[in-house]
Amino acid sequence: MAQPYAGGTAWDPIRNGVWISNGALLARRRSEHLRLHLPAVAGAAGCRQCRVTGLGNALRHQSGVMLDSFGNLYQMTYACPPAVTAICNTVCR
């Protein structure tokens, strides 16, 4: 069962599409066709217990960002499939 906070969307201005997630999977749809441009891939790389809780973009760096349920912030390329270029933990302890 998906957590109520899982998932998210973000606009991809580089490829004119939208990134979508249900918490476990990450995919991209093209806006003009509304079909999957990138088949669904695992959301939070390397973390089976994590769920995607937010998506966004960093236009200055021409990359996407993703937040997971463990407080990790991922910077990703807009490639197919996206490659993680940096991970930062945002949880204060």
Instruction: Enumerate the domain spans of the chain.
Output: 8-89
Provide the CATH number for the domain formed by 8-89 in this structure: 2.40.10
Count CB atoms within 10 A of the CB of residue 63.
20
Instruction: State mean pLDDT over 50-77.
Output: 87
Model confidence band, residue 55 (pLDDT cutoffs 50, 70, 90): very high
Half-sphere exposure in the Cβ direction for 23 (13 Å, CA): 11
Instruction: State mean pLDDT over 40-65.
Output: 79
Better pLDDT: 45 or 53:
53
Q: How much is the pLDDT for 92?
A: 57
Model confidence band, residue 91 (pLDDT cutoffs 50, 70, 90): low
List, in sequence order, every beta strand (DSSP E) within the chain: 8-12, 17-21, 25-30, 36-42, 52-58, 63-68, 72-76, 84-89
